[in-house]
Structure 1
């Protein structure tokens, strides 16, 4: 694990609760004593040497929860290592994956991009729209996140978040153009993570699409139980959906659905990779 913020510490807990993964090391370049102390209490090794310590550790999977700016150097340092690199930063490298859209690529690709928390939230629904229409035109995505669940690295990477989420929407759905907006809300009580989709989709059948969106949401709830399509409508060629994500696992505040969904997706895909390696070794 690279990064000892809210994202990294929640990931460490999830890894230690996994049946096939465990957290060997939490590394950070900043000497965040309290965060690393918490990681040590979880049974993880800790280091303030960052990527240097990760390379030396000889692990099988590396989760990068640092920043988009730092990720390129981390990727270069691990280029010759036999590891799966799971990128939770909004950088432009790696294969875009979500567990309900294209999970099989986790077994073959070695550099996985989790896109963003917004991407993990909207892509399952947009994939259902794309699969049940002749063509997807313009897409607009607006996300609202509680200020308390957004760390300094995420704030610094806001431009990258908007760009990479839009690019992933276009790549994975064939949309003509995607526009992404984001609001960091200081409201109290803190609001749950929310994403609103407005998409032009042609050649759709509303009842069939509604069932497909419901099925997509059901699939996401297998690893993110607090995922809910709270509103859905179709008017001619215009599809609108509102998605809320509530953190229900007990590790995070309920409003931190943004952290919940991207971390749960990352662990789900890493577990698929680990299981495929086990099968390969037995074979």
Structure 2
């Protein structure tokens, strides 16, 4: 008997993130999207989902709850909306995967604590900047004692939708919180650039780690190993520079979307959605395994 099954999932939110998420679910062999829920029947996202043959509703989370049950619900709305959504979905059996920077639920980075997520019913993917920087930061922190961490993210304006712009304060606060938790650094600072440049720049993260003693060889090797693990599920992730000067480590990384509906510069959408789908697939596999054991 196979150890995998098809999980019935739903997407809450039909903006830029929600529609790329739908594309990635469509390519998965273990996930099936049973519903995309939005709040505007005229939105491009709901129309695209319907054109793909996916059931849609403009009734939001209430309609999603009524249409269930689902094995997994992806919330790709906004941090403010997620608070209400989490309350309404709390009684459902579904795994709730939060792609907003709400700080609710267990914060998860797949290559760092993804195994822990299998025991949770409500997980939070922090932010796109968090998914791009935290695998590297966690790896570096195993070989030094970080006292201060700084992350600067740059995203193309075209990839920052309305909800993303409303979420900027939560994005910064949640990512800073996650950096402290995953590295042990007492101080962290996150800055966000939304670039109007033409042509649009790729999604970038610039990382600075200050520590009293740094072993350059170990830090470089740890960062490259972490990057390879991320590329296994999010192709297009690459370290572009890594330098150690005294007690300071600086790392720059880029994420390029691999094609399809997303343009290459939309790496911010690509990496958080790839993480979400990977966790849902792992959940499906674990559920199938427990059902056959």
Give the TM bin, normalised by the shorter chain.
over 0.9
* Distance across 2 between alignment mates of 1:49 and 1:58: 16
Task: Report the secondary structure of 1:24's partner residue.
Answer: strand
Match of 1:116 among 92, 116, 127: 127
Residue 184 of structure 1 corresponds to: 194
Task: Note the C-alpha offset of 1:22.
Answer: 1.2
Alignment length, in residue pairs? 282
Residue aligned with 2:151, SS: strand
Name the Cα RMSD after superposition.
1.0
Contact conserved, 1:4 with 1:32, CA < 8 A, in 2?
A: no
Could you tell me how far apart the structure 1 residues matched to 2:53 and 2:86 are?
26
In the other structure, the counterpart of 2:87 is: 76
Equivalent residue for 1:25, pick from 35, 50, 66: 35
1:206 aligns with 2:216: yes
TM-score normalized by structure 1? 0.97
- 1:54-86: CA deviations, max 9, x gaps? 112211100000000000110000111101000
Q: Distance in 2 between matches of 1:102 and 1:178?
A: 20
User: Are 1:87 and 2:87 matched, yes or no?
Assistant: no
* Structure 1 unmatched ranges of 5 or more: none
C-alpha displacement at 1:172, in angstroms?
Answer: 1.2
C-alpha distance in structure 2 between counterparts of 1:129 and 1:282, whole Å: 39
TM-score normalized by structure 2? 0.94
In the alignment, what sits opposite 1:66? 77
User: Runs ≥4 in structure 1, deviation > 3 angstroms?
Assistant: none
Report SS of the residue matched to 1:175: coil
8 A contact 1:106–1:272 mirrored in 2? no
Correspondent of 1:196 among 206, 214, 219: 206
Moved more, 34-43 or 110-119: 34-43
Q: 1:32 Cα deviation (Å)?
A: 3.2
After TM superposition, give the deviation of residue 102 of structure 1 in Å.
Answer: 0.6
